[in-house]
Each structure stands twice: as structure tokens, then as C-alpha cells.
């Protein structure tokens, strides 16, 4: 089933994330990733949700979320016309023997090395989720000690403004 | 003027047109109750035996009047006791505002005495809920709560007010009551397509639900049905929208609906689903439901479209406004062949047999209707008696059959009957039909009916067992009657006396007739125990997930 990225503009009230999450839990909608972020308007937050579901379930997700009093707008982001980004932090075991090889991979992917110790290296990479997947794939022969992905955050291209 | 939060609460209730509320006092709502003492000339508070009863009473009041029911409870257990009542209202889209007290804001989050996070608990069973953190927000939050409860698809809203907010003072600015307006916006092309579907149909069929009653669209619906000659089936929530005896009214649809309605929905070429949600008790098998038909759905809630059953076309809007816009586009039509087929099915519908020697449910209900008259307000609990009441009451008025449809709440009846009796103001008989199982759940509310001299006539179908569960055990579990025969020894006449009410016990229809006639004259609560055979079944029955082919007739 295709990946869908939904952008939800909600009132910036305490508990609004709980409401959305509670709705997803109650209706049995599965979430791949979820991010909440501030917008240019302090009264509005943006929740970006990634789901994998068929069209029927997706229709219900959109309609049920729209029904919440604190939802201002919900819309699917068309992959071709949207910018999807994710941030990765990954800590890899690295010593003198393999440090430069890992560094080379980082340089190809334009990942930043943000911490270095005798036995490890922490890298930071921002990009489309596929790029992050690719980077992690290439790193897989090495020992990944810890990693953390933020989940997708996204905006539509062009001059669209979704709220006043 | 500077007022305390508690006085603002009372002022806004009055401003919103509330004159009656149901509730139970406690520590966190002492200030609110103090305000109710002061405003007792404008606000009538009915104190129940238990908060659940108060929630059902507010719900019953709302169902009977169409106004928003209001319930008030204290923090902690007071608030959690409302939960079943709020969920019941939510499932049946009943407008309700539930107000709970909470511990003071400085005590919140510290597991203080009688503290619960009721906003979190009720999130999935309310349209919306609020925690009031500052007294300055209180008036507008309460106004919003009433607005949300009544706007679009109606439902319950909870407002949680910490104790210090009720004592804090702020400037209160009265505002005039604004009735929420819902404007149906439909494209001409959408309406034209809907009309086209109706005008080209050879075998049209109307399937109507609670949304028709909520929208007050009975007249428009009958006009549509007559103009295009469309036979109608109703769900439990729409009982009374169509008159009993109207030739186009085929009866109840679904699990315990009649054969004709379930047959017709299968054979129709067009199903118009109006104000209804294709629940699993009607569209028992979502894939098979109306499988020969195009489906046209009219509903105020867009999320109901394509939720349980995929439809061909939908008009999202208030049912009444939508039908008003649709009616002029619909051609006058007759469908003689289709109607002949429907009449032929009707001739074969299940009819229970009378019995002169014992009480049979349909005969008791027939007698109730005969004696209580067309003005009666009926309330039920949940179980076999509820289905018999749905099937055999001669429904003639909308908002006159109050029953827990979606949630199926046993114990709903007594509380809801209190609310109905308050709404009826003694002008209409209130008949509460229950079973011995449901009655035991919340019979505590009899004391409330006694205190307020509410003339609730309760008819208890006593078959000594949990009949509906037992019926399923008989049909699908090899008659292994696990925990459905509790061997209770309750003496209903003595219990009535103990409460200060009046009780009767009947084994024959004659005994019942005279007891019921007496009961209708009483000024306080009465109940009549009717001894029913434990093997009485609700028939016909289509098993869960089944279709008309699986219908059980004996």
C-alpha cells in the first residue's frame, strides 16, 4: 500500500496531540511516523502524519480527523508537489581502522559528523526519507550503536498558504 | 459585573435557555451548588441517586425535547460515574453538556483526593471537551460547549472546572443566546444526480435513521416517500418518524427487523439511506447489504459516508434542508410492480400468536399502547424487552421512543425515564419498559422518582433470566446457559413499597390491564412485574454478519 503523508493544521492547544493520537488509536489507524511543529502562526500547530493504508481507510482517517473540533484543516500531501524531509542522528562504532571509510560514506551523502570519540562517530543527515534509508543501508556493514529518526515533516511546493 | 466562576456558570446556563439540570453534589462542586441554591428560581436541579442516573436523565430529557441535556457531577468518582451516560449519548448523537468539578488547579496532577483526568477519560466519547484553567475563559467555554453540542451532528460535550476557578472572580459580560445555524451547501449537480437516481429507479427503498428525527425532517421525508412512492424502513433510532399504520411504513429493519424490510433492501435497485450510519445491527453484512442497489446517502456527518458501506452518491447536509432542496427535483411516480411485491412479502411477515393463558410480550405491549394512548413517551432499557418494544409499540410520534441504540446500555431506562418525566411535565404518560436484568442495574433511581413525584410507569418483563444473552446461548452456544439464570428472589412489590413507590405483579393480561390502568393514574412511580416465559424469543432474528437467507423465525 502506498505511503501517504497527511498534513493537519490544528489549534495550538494543550492536549491536541492526545486528541489526534486517541482518535487514531480508537479507530485502529496505524501511524508510521508523526511530527508536531510550530507554524508561522502561534495559534496553529502542524501535525505531519505518515500512514500506509488503502484509499478507503485513508478517506476515513481524513474525515474523522476533520471532525475534531480543534482540526482546522487536513490534507494529503501529493508526493510530487511536496517537500518531505527527515532528520537522522546515527552513532556508529568507529575506530582508526574504519573511521575514514565511514567518513567517505558521510561525505558522499553530505552527512555531517557532529561528534567523534575514540570508538565512535555521530553523524547528522537531513533529507528525503528514501535518502536516509539509503544512507542507513550503506552503513549497515558497520556497527550502529544508536540511532534516531525524527519522522517526516513536509510542506507543499509553490506559493500555497493553507491558513490565514 | 464581577462574578465568581460559580455564578458565571449559573448565569451562562440561564443565558443558554437551560431551566433544568440533573446532578449530584460533592466537594469539588460545592461552589457550583451554592450558586444553584442562589439561582433556584431560574434553574431546577434534579438530584439523582447516582451520577450515572443523572447522565441518563439529561440524555432522556434531551431525546424527548430536542434541547441540550445538562448534567453536573463532582470530581473523581462523580465524574467517572458519568462515563457510561456520556458514551450512551455520544453513540446516539444526543446533545448534552456534562459539567464536572475538579480539584483546584494547584492540586491537579498530584493524585489529589477525588482527582481524575476526566478530560482524558472522555476524549473518545465526547464531541469535544474542555478543561477550564482560568475563570476568564469560563463563560465562553460554556457557550462553546452548548454550541458544539447542538451544531451539525449533535453530541455530548464535557466541561471540567477546577474548584478554584469556581471561586475566582472576573468581569462577566452577558451575551444574547445565539442559536447555532447550520447551512446545507449542495451543488446543483449533486442534487440533480440524486434526483436522477430517484427518478430512474424502479424499486426504490428508503432506509431512515436517527438523523431524520434529530433534524425534525419527518414531514419532508413523508412528502418524498409519497411523491415518488417509496416504501420506508426505519432503524430503532427513527421509530416514530413514520406513523404506525402508514401504508408506506414497512417497519423495523435489521437484526430484529421484519422479513419485508430486510428482503426489500436486498431486492431494491435504489436505497436511500437518510440520517443513518449502516450500523452492524442493520447492515449486518456490509458487503452484502443492498447488493443489487445503488445507494444514495443523506447525512450531516461527512465521515459517515463510505464508513461502513460504500455508497454511490451522497448529499452531506442537514436532512431537513437537504430534502427540501431535493423534493422539487423529484418526479411524482408510482411503482405498482414493486409495491405489489412488497405487499406480497408483508403478507408473510412473522406475527406472534396470542395466548389466553399466559402473558406474551406482544400482547402486553399492545395493551400498553391501547391504554397509554398516542401521547405516551416510551423509554426502554436494553435486551429482549427493548426489541419487543421497538417491534410492537405503535409508534406515532418522533422523540417518543427513548432507547440506547448504539451503545446498548443496560440500566439506561430508569434514569432516562426520569428525564422524560421531567420533560413531560405530567402532560404525557411516561412508560418505561424494562427487563428484570436491566431493572436491577439502576433501580436505585426509583428513590429519585419518589422524591420528585415523577409518575414513571415501569413495566418489567420478568422472565427470570438475561433473555437476550440466553437467546444467543440457545441459538449459537448449544443451550449452555452460562451465567444467564441468576435465580434472583427479588420481590418487586415489596421493593416498590420499600422505596415509597407502588408495585404490582401480573400473570395474566386481565391483571395487567387493571394494574396498568391504575398505574396511569398514580402521581408517583409505579412498577408492574409481568411474568414472562423464559423461552420467549425476539423474532425474527438475523444472526450477526448474516443476511435475509439466514433469518431465524422460531
- The pLDDT tens digits for B245-267 are 999 999 999 999 999 999 999 99
What is the domain extent for residue A13?
3-77
Same domain, yes or no: A70 and A99:
no
Residue B25 lies in a domain: yes
Work out how many CB contacts closer than 8 A connect A with B: 31
For residues B311 and B318, give the distance between their C-alpha atoms in angstroms, rounded to a whole number: 18
Same domain, yes or no: B200 and B340:
yes
Q: The C-alpha cell of A3 is what?
A: 505511503
Residue B446 lies in a domain: yes
> CA dist A17 to A43, A45, A156, B386, Å?
14, 10, 22, 40
Q: Domain boundary residue among A56, A77, A98? A: A77
How many angstroms separate the CA of residue A59 from the nearest CA in chain B? Answer: 8
Residues of chain A with Cβ-Cβ distance to B120 below 8 Å are 15, 18
What is the domain extent for residue B388?
361-531
Q: Are residues A26 and B302, on separate chains, in Cβ contact within 8 Å?
A: no
Interface with chain B: mutation pick from A63, A64, A72, highest number of B CBs within 10 Å: A63
Provide the CATH number for the domain around residue A18.
Answer: 3.30.70.260
Q: Which residues pair with B299 in a beta bridge?
A: B316
B424, B430 Cβ separation under 8 angstroms: yes
The vertex-B498 CA angle with B494 and B504, nearest 5°, equals: 40
For residues B116 and B79, give the distance between their C-alpha atoms in angstroms, rounded to a whole number: 8
Same domain, yes or no: B337 and B278:
yes
Same domain, yes or no: A93 and A143:
yes
Same domain, yes or no: A100 and A145:
yes
Q: The C-alpha cell of B304 is what?
A: 459517515
Provide the CATH number for the domain around residue B246.
Answer: 3.40.50.1220
Q: The C-alpha cell of A145 is what?
A: 550503536
Q: Please write the tens of the pLDDT for every residue from B52-92.
A: 999 999 999 999 999 999 999 999 999 999 999 999 999 99
Same domain, yes or no: B464 and B519:
yes
**For B51, phi and psi rounded to 5 degrees?**
-60, -30
Same domain, yes or no: A40 and A72:
yes
Task: Name the 3-class secondary structure at B6.
Answer: helix
For residues B53 and B85, give the distance between their C-alpha atoms in angstroms, rounded to a whole number: 8
Q: Does A64 touch chain B (CB under 8 A)?
A: yes
Same domain, yes or no: B162 and B234:
no
Same domain, yes or no: A8 and A73:
yes
Averaged pLDDT, B464-469:
97
Residues of chain B with Cβ-Cβ distance to A56 below 8 Å are 306, 310
Chain A residue with the nearest C-alpha to that of B311? A56
Strand order of the β-sheet with A44-52 is A33-38, A44-52, A3-11, A71-77
Closest Cβ–Cβ partner in A22, A59, A69 for B128: A69
The vertex-B93 CA angle with B92 and B94, nearest 5°, equals: 95
Q: DSSP readout, A58-86?
A: HHHHHHHHHHSTTEEEEEEEPGGGEEEEE
A154, A48 Cβ separation under 8 angstroms: yes
SS (H, E, C) B368-384: HHHHHCCCCEEEECCCH
Same domain, yes or no: B342 and B373:
no
B252, B350 Cβ separation under 8 angstroms: no
Averaged pLDDT, B358-362:
96
Q: Domain boundary residue among A43, A77, A111? A: A77
Percent of chain B with pLDDT over 90: 97
Residue B176 scores a pLDDT above 90:
yes
Same domain, yes or no: B370 and B310:
no
Residues of chain A with Cβ-Cβ distance to B131 below 8 Å are 15
For residues A57 and B307, give the distance between their C-alpha atoms in angstroms, rounded to a whole number: 9
Q: The C-alpha cell of B147 is what?
A: 454550541
Same domain, yes or no: A72 and A90:
no
Q: Domain boundary residue among B313, B347, B381? A: B347
Cβ-based interface (< 8 Å): residues of B facing A: 119-120, 123-124, 127-128, 131, 148, 301-303, 305-307, 310
Count up the domains in chain B and report the number. Answer: 3
For residues A35 and A7, give the distance between their C-alpha atoms in angstroms, rounded to a whole number: 10
Residue A47 lies in a domain: yes
Residue B180 lies in a domain: no
Same domain, yes or no: A110 and A149:
yes
Provide the CATH number for the domain around residue B34.
Answer: 3.40.50.970
**pLDDT (0 to 100) of residue A3:** 85
Residue A53 lies in a domain: yes
Same domain, yes or no: B308 and B368:
no
B438: Cα within 13 Å, side-chain hemisphere = 30
Task: Name the 3-class secondary structure at A116.
Answer: strand
**For B99, phi and psi rounded to 5 degrees?**
-115, 125
> CA dist B449 to B33, B378, B392, B455, Å?
21, 16, 27, 7
Count up the domains in chain A and report the number. Answer: 2
For residues B455 and B452, give the distance between their C-alpha atoms in angstroms, rounded to a whole number: 9
Provide the CATH number for the domain around residue A106.
Answer: 3.30.70.1150
Q: Domain boundary residue among A77, A109, A140? A: A77
Same domain, yes or no: B368 and B512:
yes
Residue B541 lies in a domain: no
With CA atoms as reference, report the closest residue to B414 among B446, B437, B375: B446
Residue B542 lies in a domain: no
Contacts of B242 (CB under 8 A, 6+ apart): B208, B218, B221, B222, B225, B232, B234, B248, B249, B395
Residues of chain A with Cβ-Cβ distance to B301 below 8 Å are 67
Same domain, yes or no: B340 and B368:
no
For residues B418 and B387, give the distance between their C-alpha atoms in angstroms, rounded to a whole number: 21
Residue A129 lies in a domain: yes
Chain B residue with the nearest C-alpha to that of A15? B120
Residue B554 scores a pLDDT above 90:
no
How many angstroms separate the CA of residue B258 from the nearest CA in chain A? Answer: 31
Same domain, yes or no: B106 and B194:
no
Contacts of B155 (CB under 8 A, 6+ apart): B89, B90, B93, B94, B95, B96, B126, B127, B148, B149
**pLDDT (0 to 100) of residue A163:** 64
Residue B19 lies in a domain: yes
Q: Please write the tens of the pLDDT for every residue from B385-444.
A: 999 999 999 999 999 999 999 999 999 999 999 999 999 999 999 999 999 999 999 999
Q: Does A17 touch chain B (CB under 8 A)?
A: no
Evaluated on CA atoms B545, B548, B550, B554, the torsion sign reads: positive
Bridging pattern class, strands B156-162 and B401-402 = unpaired
Closest Cβ–Cβ partner in A23, A63, A68 for B302: A63
For residues B157 and B180, give the distance between their C-alpha atoms in angstroms, rounded to a whole number: 15
Residue A164 scores a pLDDT above 70:
no
Residue B258 lies in a domain: yes
Q: Does A13 touch chain B (CB under 8 A)?
A: no
For residues B346 and A163, give the distance between their C-alpha atoms in angstroms, rounded to a whole number: 56
Whether the bond between B540 and the residue before it is cis, its omega within 30 degrees of 0, is yes
> CA dist B311 to A53, B198, B329, Å?
20, 15, 21
Contacts of B280 (CB under 8 A, 6+ apart): B286, B308, B544, B545
Q: Are residues B119 and A15, on separate chains, in Cβ contact within 8 Å?
A: yes
Residue A160 lies in a domain: no
Task: Name the 3-class secondary structure at B131.
Answer: strand
How many angstroms separate the CA of residue A71 from the nearest CA in chain B? Answer: 11
Interface with chain A: mutation pick from B157, B302, B305, highest number of A CBs within 10 Å: B302
Same domain, yes or no: A65 and A95:
no
B152: Cα within 13 Å, side-chain hemisphere = 13
How many angstroms separate the CA of residue B312 from the nearest CA in chain A? Answer: 14
Q: Please write the tens of the pLDDT for every residue from B38-51.
A: 999 999 999 999 99
Same domain, yes or no: B66 and B102:
yes
Q: The C-alpha cell of B148 is what?
A: 458544539
**pLDDT (0 to 100) of residue A2:** 80
What interhelical angle do B336-347 and B259-267 show, nearest 10? 150
Residue pointed to by grid coordinates 446543483: B188
> CA dist B68 to B62, B63, B94, Å?
5, 9, 8
Task: Name the 3-class secondary structure at B203.
Answer: coil
SS (H, E, C) B393-448: CCCCCCCCEECCCCCCCCCHHHHHHHHHHHHHCCCCCEEEEEEHHHHHHHHHHHHH
Give residue B418's region: left, alpha or beta (phi > 0; psi -120 to 50). Answer: alpha
Q: Please write the tens of the pLDDT for every residue from A77-115.
A: 987 899 999 999 999 999 999 999 999 999 999 999 999
Q: Domain boundary residue among B171, B201, B235? A: B171
Instruction: Label residue A161 by pLDDT band (50, 70, 90).
Output: confident
Q: Are residues A19 and B123, on separate chains, in Cβ contact within 8 Å?
A: yes
Same domain, yes or no: B464 and B507:
yes
For residues B57 and B52, give the distance between their C-alpha atoms in angstroms, rounded to a whole number: 8
Residue A159 lies in a domain: no
Give residue B278's region: left, alpha or beta (phi > 0; psi -120 to 50). Answer: left
Residue B491 lies in a domain: yes
Q: Are residues A67 and B124, on separate chains, in Cβ contact within 8 Å?
A: no
Amino acid at each position: 500500500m502506498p505511503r501517504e503523508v497527511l498534513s493537519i493544521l490544528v489549534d495550538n492547544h494543550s492536549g491536541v496531540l492526545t486528541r489526534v493520537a486517541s482518535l487514531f488509536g480508537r479507530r485502529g489507524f496505524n501511524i508510521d511516523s508523526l511530527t508536531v511543529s510550530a507554524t508561522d502562526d502561534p495559534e496553529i500547530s502542524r501535525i505531519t502524519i505518515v500512514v500506509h493504508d488503502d484509499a478507503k481507510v485513508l478517506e476515513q482517517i481524513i474525515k474523522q480527523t476533520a471532525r475534531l473540533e480543534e482540526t482546522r484543516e487536513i490534507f494529503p500531501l501529493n508526493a510530487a508537489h511536496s517537500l518531505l524531509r527527515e532528520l537522522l542522528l546515527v552513532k556508529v562504532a568507529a575506530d582508526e581502522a574504519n573511521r575514514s571509510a565511514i567518513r567517505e560514506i558521510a561525505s558522499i551523502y553530505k552527512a555531517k559528523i557532529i561528534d567523534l570519540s575514540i570508538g565512535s562517530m555521530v553523524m547528522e543527515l537531513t533529507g528525503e526519507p528514501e535518502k536516509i534509508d539509503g544512507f542507513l543501508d550503506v552503513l549497515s556493514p558497520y556497527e550502529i550503536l544508536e540511532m534516531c529518526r525524527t519522522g517526516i515533516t513536509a510542506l507543499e511546493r509553490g506559493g500555497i498558504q493553507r491558513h490565514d | 459585573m464581577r462574578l465568581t466562576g460559580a455564578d458565571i456558570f449559573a448565569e451562562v446556563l440561564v443565558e443558554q435557555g437551560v431551566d433544568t439540570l440533573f446532578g449530584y453534589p460533592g466537594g469539588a462542586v460545592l461552589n457550583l451548588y451554592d450558586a444553584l441554591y442562589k439561582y433556584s428560581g431560574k434553574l431546577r436541579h434534579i438530584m439523582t441517586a447516582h451520577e450515572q442516573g443523572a447522565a441518563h436523565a439529561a440524555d432522556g430529557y434531551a431525546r424527548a425535547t430536542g434541547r441540550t441535556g445538562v448534567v453536573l457531577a463532582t470530581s473523581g468518582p462523580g465524574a467517572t460515574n458519568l462515563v457510561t451516560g456520556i458514551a450512551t449519548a455520544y453513540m446516539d448523537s444526543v446533545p448534552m453538556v456534562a459539567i464536572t468539578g475538579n480539584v483546584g488547579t494547584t492540586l491537579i496532577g498530584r493524585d489529589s483526593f477525588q482527582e481524575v483526568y476526566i478530560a482524558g477519560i472522555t476524549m473518545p466519547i465526547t464531541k469535544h471537551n474542555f478543561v477550564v484553567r482560568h475563570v476568564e475563559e469560563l463563560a465562553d467555554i460554556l457557550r462553546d460547549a452548548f454550541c458544539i453540542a447542538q451544531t451539525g451532528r449533535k453530541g455530548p460535550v464535557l466541561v471540567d472546572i477546577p474548584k478554584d476557578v469556581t471561586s475566582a472572580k472576573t468581569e462577566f459580560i452577558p451575551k444574547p443566546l445565539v442559536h447555532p445555524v447550520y447551512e446545507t451547501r449542495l451543488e446543483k449537480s449533486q442534487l440533480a444526480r440524486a434526483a436522477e437516481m430517484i427518478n430512474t429507479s424502479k424499486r426504490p427503498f428508503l432506509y431512515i435513521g436517527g438523523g431524520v428525527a434529530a433534524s425534525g425532517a419527518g414531514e419532508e421525508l413523508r412528502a418524498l416517500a409519497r411523491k415518488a412512492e417509496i416504501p420506508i424502513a426505519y432503524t430503532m433510532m427513527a421509530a416514530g418518524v413514520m406513523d404506525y399504520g402508514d401504508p408506506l411504513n414497512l417497519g423495523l429493519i435489521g437484526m430484529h427487523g421484519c422479513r419485508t424490510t430486510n428482503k426489500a433492501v436486498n431486492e431494491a435497485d435504489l436505497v436511500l439511506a437518510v440520517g443513518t450510519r449502516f450500523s452492524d445491527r442493520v447492515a449486518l453484512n456490509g458487503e452484502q447489504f443492498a447488493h443489487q442497489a445503488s445507494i444514495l446517502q443523506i447525512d450531516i456527518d461527512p465521515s459517515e459516508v463510505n464508513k461502513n458501506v460504500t455508497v454511490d452518491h451522497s448529499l452531506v447536509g442537514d436532512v431537513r434542508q437537504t430534502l427540501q432542496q431535493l423534493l422539487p427535483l423529484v418526479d411524482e411516480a408510482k411503482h405498482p410492480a414493486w409495491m405489489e411485491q412488497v405487499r406480497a412479502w408483508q403478507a408473510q411477515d412473522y406475527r406472534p400468536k396470542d395466548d389466553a393463558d399466559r402473558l406474551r410480550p406482544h400482547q402486553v405491549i399492545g395493551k400498553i399502547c391501547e391504554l397509554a394512548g398516542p401521547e405516551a413517551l416510551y423509554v426502554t432499557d436494553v435486551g429482549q424487552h427493548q426489541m419487543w418494544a421497538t417491534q410492537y409499540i405503535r409508534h406515532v410520534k418522533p422523540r417518543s421512543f427513548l432507547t440506547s441504540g448504539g451503545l446498548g446500555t443496560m440500566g439506561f431506562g430508569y434514569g432516562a425515564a426520569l428525564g422524560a418525566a421531567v420533560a413531560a411535565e405530567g402532560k404525557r404518560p411516561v412508560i418505561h419498559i424494562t427487563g428484570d436484568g436491566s431493572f436491577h442495574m439502576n433501580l436505585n433511581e426509583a428513590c429519585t422518582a419518589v422524591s420528585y413525584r415523577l409518575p414513571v410507569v415501569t413495566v418489567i418483563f420478568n422472565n427470570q433470566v438475561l433473555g437476550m444473552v440466553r437467546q444467543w446461548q440457545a441459538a449459537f452456544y448449544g443451550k449452555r446457559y452460562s451465567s444467564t439464570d441468576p435465580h434472583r428472589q427479588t420481590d418487586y412489590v415489596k421493593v416498590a413499597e420499600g422505596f415509597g413507590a407502588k408495585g404490582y405483579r401480573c400473570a395474566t393480561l386481565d391483571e395487567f390491564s387493571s394494574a396498568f390502568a391504575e398505574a396511569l393514574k398514580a402521581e408517583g412511580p409505579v412498577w408492574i412485574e409481568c411474568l414472562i416465559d423464559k423461552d420467549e424469543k425476539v423474532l425474527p432474528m438475523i444472526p450477526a454478519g448474516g443476511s435475509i437467507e439466514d433469518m431465524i423465525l422460531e
